[in-house]
Amino acid sequence: MKIAILGAMPEEISPLLEKLQNYEKINYANNSYYLAQYKKHELILAYSKIGKVNSTLSASIMIEKFKAETLLFTGVAGAFNPNLKIGDLLVANKLCQYDLDITAFGHPLGFVPGNEVFVKTDEKLNALAKEVANELGVKLHEGIIATGDEFICDEVKKSKIREVFNADACEMEGASVALVCEALKVPCFILRAMSDEAGEKAEFDFDEFVVKSAQTSAEFVLKICDKL
């Protein structure tokens, strides 16, 4: 199977490249894509760079140019749900764009005509992740992720997004990747390890914990590849 593994930052993909060691690097459309053989799978790996536009571009290229049949996203996020702590793993069952705003025309926040507010991920991949978590003895949370082009480190913004979307965490790429996968009919899985709690001083927690949290997420995604 051809499996795309996408992250937003080098820290989110480097642990995988270090483990794989042998890979081919292809430069395309102002980014680098890494092709590797892993057991019975062909992997296409990349970090998209931060934000919805960059992740949309990379996800589309991985599917259209490199012919990925499944896409797994690995990375970090800010926790909204008080039950989520730094280092915890969260798999998204659905995602929304919290900064998509045409409420001036009477539409709900996160909605534009032709799309739904929430985009769902693949139920079979999510179930597979639960199997992996059980085997590893790791607690895996499942919930809603809100995506937007802003690093949230403000309690007021955090409270509003959580209230409107019932979001458990926020990040800057997941919903756009899921939307691409839905449109192109490719199963999609979004996994995030909590790097901060998205409130006051979240930027300091992020800097401290991003590498460890990203590594936790990346290792888990590779375990999912073992089961596909």
Show which residues are catalytic: 12, 196
Locate tokens 């894509």: which residue?
A: 33
CB atoms within 10 A of CB 150: 13
Which DSSP state fits 181? Answer: H
CA distances from 188 to 42, 54, 109, 112 (A): 17, 17, 24, 22
Helix residue ranges, H only, the chain? 10-20, 52-64, 123-136, 155-165, 174-184, 202-227
Chain centre distance of CA 115: 20
Among candidate residues 112, 42, 84, 48, the one with its CA nearest the CA of residue 170: 84
The Cα–Cα gap between 134 and 163 comes to 31
